Amino acid sequence: MQYRKIHIIGGPGSGKTFSAAKLQQLTGLNGFDLDSVFWEKNEFAYVRSSEHARTEKLNHILSHDNWIVEGVYYKWLASSFGDADLIVVLNPPTLLRQWRIFKRFLKRKFVLGHYRKESLASFLQMFWWNQGFDQDNMVRILDFIHEYDDKIIYCKNYNEIWRELSK
């Protein structure tokens, strides 16, 4: 089956952005990061977008003929899950996600430089949130999307996603 609308969901550091970018290159689908929908970024901080702004941005994305959306969010994305041809639940081991979060923090803070608003406190908050993600958030996510079981695949990494899509 040729998938034209793919929703990738997973915890922090699970490889959502990497996988979406690789799939976008290989398939030509339009890629969208849900962080840019959920957060407004200014020079000093990230601020939650209003519900109205999020809905408008999401509706614009979903109006495309094809898309790959990726993010950790779920409660306000019922229409995305409903419209998707495929939902990928990306869930590598917690320790690997923790390592990726740490590497990402160091890269953003000390190499890229334009993420100066990220602090050690924000890194630690993400690290500890991710530690309990599988027992808390992932359980709620799976409960929220259970009605779409027929179009959900579970993968630990990009290679598993690609194998599933290549069948």
> What separation, in Å, do the N-terminal and C-terminal C-alpha atoms of the chain show?
8
- In one-letter notation, the amino acid at residue 7 is H
Domain boundaries, the chain: 5-166
User: How would you write the pLDDT of the chain (167 residues) with one tens digit per residue?
Assistant: 589 999 999 999 999 999 999 999 999 999 999 998 998 876 666 788 999 999 999 999 999 999 999 999 999 999 999 999 999 999 999 999 999 999 988 888 787 766 556 788 888 999 999 999 999 999 999 999 999 999 999 999 999 999 999 88
pTM of the model: 0.91
The CATH architecture that domain 5-166 belongs to is 3-Layer(aba) Sandwich (3.40)
